[in-house]
Structure 1
C-alpha cells in the first residue's frame, strides 16, 4: 500500500472538512468496487490455475486415480479431491 500526503492530492477545503473527523492519523480510502479485480486477473495466475484444474478434472474423468494425480501435479490428495469434486466445469 502506498501512502500519499493529502496536501499533495486533495483540495484544502476537503482537507479541512476531513480534519473535523480525524487528524494526524493514517486514513485508508478503499477503491470503488468497480475497480476491484479478482486475485490473479492481472498476472494471469488465475487463468493458469483454471487451466491446470481443468486438466486434472479431465484426467480424473478419463480414469486417473486421486493419488496418481496428486503425485503428478505435486498436490495433496485432499486438494485433488476438492478440484475433481467441485462443480466447476
Structure 2
C-alpha cells in the first residue's frame, strides 16, 4: 500500500477538518465495496499463483512425483497436495 500526503490530494478545508481528529499519523480509508479487489488482483500475484498451480497439476498428471514438485517449487508436500487435489 502506498501512502499519499493528504495535502496533495484533498482540499485545504478537508485537511484542516481531519487535523482536528488526527495529526501526523496514518489513516486507512477503505475502498467502497463495489471497488474492492480480491487479494493479489492489483499486483497480478493472484494470476501468477494460478498459473504456477496449473503447471504443478500438469506436471503431476504427466508423471512428476509430489516430492519432486515440492523440491522444484520450494513448497511443502502438504501445499503440493492441496494444489493438486483442489478443483
TM-score of the superposition, structure 1-length normalised? 0.60
Shift of 1:41: 4.0
Which one has the largest radius of gyration?
A: 1
**Number of aligned positions between the proteins:** 84
Shift of 1:54: 0.5
Shift of 1:81: 1.0
Shift of 1:15: 3.3
Q: Is the 8 A contact 2:57 2:84 kept in 1?
A: yes
Change (3 A) 1:41 1:29: closer
Task: Show the counterpart of 2:50.
Answer: 50
Change (3 A) 1:15 1:67: closer
| Unmatched 5+ stretches in structure 1 | none
Structure 2 distance, partners of 1:19, 1:72, is 52
Shift of 1:83: 0.8
2:81 is aligned with 1:64: no
Task: Show the counterpart of 2:79.
Answer: 79
Shift of 1:52: 1.8
Structure 2 distance, partners of 1:19, 1:76, is 49
